[in-house]
Amino acid sequence: MNAKALREFRTKLFTDLYTGIIPERIPVQDSLQIEYYIQYAGKDLMTTQYCYTTELLVEILEKGREVARGDTVPIAFARNPIAMMFQQSLVNEMSKTGMIQHPERSFMGADEYDELIKNPHDFLLEKLAPRMNRGYAKGEVHRALNFAKYVLATLDTEKEFAAATAIIQERYGLFSPPPGSNALQAVPFDFITDMYRGFSQIPLDMRRQPEKLLQAMEAVMPYLIYLGREKVKSPLGANMIMTHMAAFLNTKDFEKFYWPTFYKICHICAERGQAVSIFLEGDWTRFIDYLQELPQGTRLYMEYGDPRKFKDKLGKKMVLGGFYPLTLLKNATKEKCIDKAKELIDILAPGGNYYFTCDKGALNLNDINPENYIAVMEYVLENGKYDNAGEPVTTAKKEDSIKKFSHLYPEFKSQYIVSFDDFKKEYPPVSEKIEALMRAAYEKYSAIVDFMM
């Protein structure tokens, strides 16, 4: 197949997967992160992240084609150390190895819940952002200048990545969702833990002031719903949730603190017509019965757990991926690696609703043996064909699985997010001819800045 035909074929695979049809074969997603690609190409990890260009990225990704075998574009996410430099970020920091990590820190005091509950967005911008980013703590002028530099650095790097991945996508006929159809979706418990209180402090809040924590999670819901809005609705896109804390909680705390708002966020996305793609960090096997309550077509990417239980209980309703242990690809024999892929295919592939990927992404060169990785991917591509392609996965209707919660939350509003209609009262168009043009520009750039705040 030429590249154009390959792209159409791969797009059809994912269209079928995401719309409840058994595809021609199992869709395959690579498990190689940008950090791996950089090192595989023989580049220095630390310095390369400061000098991304389209040409350099194409060179890196071209070299990576020696290992990559999946159906999708090679990069989903990359942190930006230049943007972080202007923020002087304390949320993400580069180590001496060149890896960017999220250190354990607390930026919010236990006595500040009332401020958070009163107005989460104002509290984040006025109090927490300067604590999280030293570049914003040096006064109003320095904050404005450093934020502008951060935005420009982010946009420049995103532009280089977009151009490079578009070139690789066209050359190799890879699948990618329509631009604007994916969005990050935070959920309240993880959001408050990761961004505000920290892993070490949140257990104290659960014991000492549980009602304040519960109120805070409800208070941030309108803001998180707003942040998760996607620009383009498409069955190929998704609101992507990265879970962190659930697997560390006992079942009682999960039921009380984690699940209620998580559940509502997932259904609110479905109300908008958007699928949710969830990385289930850790082992969620004990929470399978809860996951059954999520909307039909929810995409679950598992790190650990019992694949047979997931398939038996969720296989008809949810799209499943993950489970394949990346660590196996490092030291095991090629035969053992292939045997594990065969085992997972035998369990998860029947009836569709399955894509193949590893349980996590490779970051370092020594995370995998490339020969093992290639052997596994090629085995799945060759042996993942369906005899009953085109059949529906289930006769259940997705709309019957969606619970409605949007009406419970007010539209998100903030003094720092101003609509064009309010803005034009202060700065009116000089002519009706330009009002629509002004609105389009205002909303475009406001959306960029709002997301980056």
At 330-383, the pLDDT tens digits run 999 999 999 999 999 999 999 999 999 999 999 999 999 999 999 999 999 999
Q: What is the pLDDT of residue 447?
A: 87
**Banded model confidence at residue 1, pLDDT cuts 50, 70, 90:** confident
Give domain status of residue 407, yes or no: yes
Neighbour-count burial of 198, counting CB atoms closer than 10 A to its CB (0-12 exposed, 13-18 middle, 19+ buried): middle
Domain identity same for 199 and 250 = yes
Nearest 10 degrees: Cα torsion 241, 243, 246, 248: 180
Strand order across the 238-242 sheet: 182-184, 238-242, 276-283, 299-304, 319-322
Domain identity same for 230 and 347 = yes
**Per-residue pLDDT at 452 exceeds 90:** no
Q: What angle do CA 197, 88, 220 make, to 5 degrees?
A: 35
Domain identity same for 423 and 286 = no
Domain identity same for 370 and 412 = yes
Q: What is the pLDDT of residue 44?
A: 97
Question: Which residues partner with 320 through β-bridges?
Answer: 300, 354
Averaged pLDDT for residues 171-198: 94
Domain identity same for 330 and 320 = yes
Burial 75-112 (b: 16+ CB within 10 A, else e): beebbbbbbbbbbebebbebeeebebeeeebebbeeeb
Averaged pLDDT for residues 52-56: 97
Q: What is the pTM of this model?
A: 0.94
**% of the chain surpassing 90 pLDDT:** 94
Domain identity same for 311 and 275 = yes
**Per-residue pLDDT at 230 exceeds 90:** no
Q: What is the pLDDT of residue 195?
A: 85
Give domain status of residue 38, yes or no: no
Domain identity same for 351 and 449 = no
Contact 280, 243 (CB under 8 A): yes
Tell me the pLDDT of the chain averaged across its residues: 95
Q: pLDDT digit string (tens) for 71-124?
A: 999 887 789 999 999 999 999 999 999 999 988 999 999 999 999 999 999 999
Domain identity same for 362 and 231 = yes
Task: Residue 337: name the closest of 376, 377, 381 by CA.
Answer: 376
Task: Residue 248: name the closest of 202, 282, 291 by CA.
Answer: 282
Averaged pLDDT for residues 164-173: 96
Please count the structural domains in the chain. 2
Cα separation, 168 vs 65, whole angstroms: 9
Q: pLDDT digit string (tens) for 315-326?
A: 999 999 999 999
Domain identity same for 353 and 423 = no
Q: What is the pLDDT of residue 448?
A: 87
Question: Which residues partner with 301 through β-bridges?
Answer: 279, 321
Task: Residue 74: name the closest of 117, 45, 40, 106 by CA.
Answer: 40
Cα separation, 239 vs 230, whole angstroms: 8
Averaged pLDDT for residues 48-66: 97
Strand residues in 305-365 grouped as ranges (E): 319-322
In 92-245, alpha helices (H): 113-118, 120-123, 129-132, 140-172, 188-191, 202-208, 210-227
Domain identity same for 242 and 300 = yes
- Residue range(s) defining the domain that contains residue 437: 419-453
**Banded model confidence at residue 231, pLDDT cuts 50, 70, 90:** confident
Domain identity same for 323 and 394 = yes
Strands 276-283 and 238-242 turn out to be parallel
DSSP 25-84: B--B---B-HHHHHHHTT--HHHHTTS--HHHHHHHHHHHTTT---SB-S-S----HHHH
Q: pLDDT digit string (tens) for 190-218?
A: 999 988 999 999 999 999 999 999 999 99
Cα separation, 51 vs 49, whole angstroms: 6
Q: What is the pLDDT of residue 287?
A: 97
Domain identity same for 342 and 449 = no
**Per-residue pLDDT at 167 exceeds 80:** yes
Nearest 10 degrees: Cα torsion 365, 371, 377, 383: -170
